[in-house]
Structure 1
Amino acid sequence: MTTGKNTKGYETPNHPYQGERIAEESDLISRYGLQNKEEFWRAQSELRNMRREARRLLGEAQGDVEAAQEAGSEFVARLRKLGILSSNDDISAVLSLDVTDLLERRLQTVVYREGLASSTQQARQFIVHGHVTVGDARVTRPSKKVETSEEDIIAFDETSPLADELHPERAEAQE
């Protein structure tokens, strides 16, 4: 069986009804302003793939963290660039990551944390409606992973009415 472009990029839970899991998912969905559980499951699948890659690299190095670090240097560099791993973390730190570590790097969450929106839901709306730029590029995808180097260049589009400091929908300046 080949995996083509038509396969979905996430896995659903094995057991459809587990009250505790559903409550935990719902809490994270509302806290991060996700549209639906599919977005949450995508993040979980992405994390699962990262852990799988880290385990593969560690397994090939037979538990030698130094050798695995060297073999997976591009993998670790990508995670550091995204801000998922800190500069002093090694490849074994990937195994202890949580789904919230990935959700924190979404453009939607970063816009909210930077104070450009008063809630994650409002941040999502600003992004989808084309009011937010990263550098010179307008981004309309709330799920975009923001690199640490891009955090400082997130702003409202200059042609957007929200660029005006006095716009009523702008988040109140936190002091």
Structure 2
Amino acid sequence: MALGSNTKFYETPNHPYQGERIAEESGLIGKYGLKNKEELWRTQSELRGYRREARKLLGRGAGNTDVTDREAAEFLARLQRIGVLGEADSLDTVLALDVTDILERRLQTVVYRQGLGNTVQQARQFISHGHITIDGQQVREPGYTVSVAEEDAVSFTSQSPLTDELHPERAEDQ
């Protein structure tokens, strides 16, 4: 790694001791089963990047419209592919996105929502212990962004003891 290269891909809050922000962050960490605030800050930075790109594309509308329209279409298609936006959404919708829209696309949340884990914490444990696959590929990263096409392909690995319906850790409603 070269000296001076930036390895931190998130921004910390400007004012670290704001009670309201701390309470909001703690609520999101509990709801989505995040390990620490760094995971939340990464997601917030990702959202800021999406908004920055949308503002740039909206502001560039006066220039070369063919290039801008193509870039905007590619940007919207990428966000639709990962499930953050719907088919009919526009660049203005990107500016209205919330951090929860991105947190809902995490593998950990998808595993929990599909009922493969009883809690988001258990879903995180199943992922990190190698019990979850996407299209037959083992994924051990709870923060992996699941695309819409991959969502139905999330399942237990064939070697996992959790594939047994009677396993005591399996969700009750399956």
TM-score in terms of structure 1 length = 0.92
**Aligned to 1:155, what secondary structure does the other structure show?**
strand
Structure 1 residue 62 displacement after superposition: 4.0
Measured in 2, the distance between the counterparts of 1:5 and 1:24 equals 32
Bigger shift: residues 72-81 or 50-59: 72-81
Distance 1:67 1:92 in 2: 18
Are 1:43 and 2:50 matched, yes or no?
no
Question: How far 1:74 moved relative to its partner?
Answer: 1.2
SS of 1:133's equivalent in the other structure is strand
Q: What do the CA deviations read for 1:40-61 (whole angstroms, capped 9, x no partner)? A: 0000000000000000000011
* Cα distance in structure 2, aligned partners of 1:3 and 1:29: 33
Q: For residue 149 of structure 2, what is the amino acid of its counterpart?
A: S
Equivalent residues in 2 for 1:135-174 (5 A)? 135-173=135-173
Q: 1:86 to 1:3 in 2, by over 3 A?
A: farther
Larger deviation: 68-77 or 135-144?
68-77
Equivalent pairs counted in the alignment come to 172
Corresponding residue SS for 1:14: coil
Within the alignment, does 1:32 sit opposite 2:54 as a pair? no
The root-mean-square deviation of aligned C-alpha atoms, in Å, is 2.0
Q: Look up the equivalent residue of 1:22 and give its one-letter code.
A: I
Gaps of 5+ in 2: none
% same residue = 61
* CA displacement at 1:91 relative to structure 2: 1.4
| Structure 1: runs of 5 or more not aligned | none
The aligned runs of 1:98-137 (5 Å cut-off) are 98-137=98-137
**What TM-score does the superposition give when structure 2 sets the normalisation length?**
0.93
Residues 1:17 and 2:17 are matched in the alignment? yes
Which portions of structure 1, spanning 4 or more consecutive aligned residues, are displaced by more than 4 angstroms?
2-5, 65-69
Equivalent position amino acid for 2:39 in 1: E
* C-alpha distance after superposition, 1:6-48 (max 9, x if no partner): 4300000000100000000000000000000000000000000
Contact 1:131–1:156 (8 Å) recurs in 2: yes
Aligned mates of 1:8, 1:95 — CA distance in 2: 24
SS at 2:155's partner residue?
A: strand
Q: What secondary structure does 1:8 align onto?
A: coil
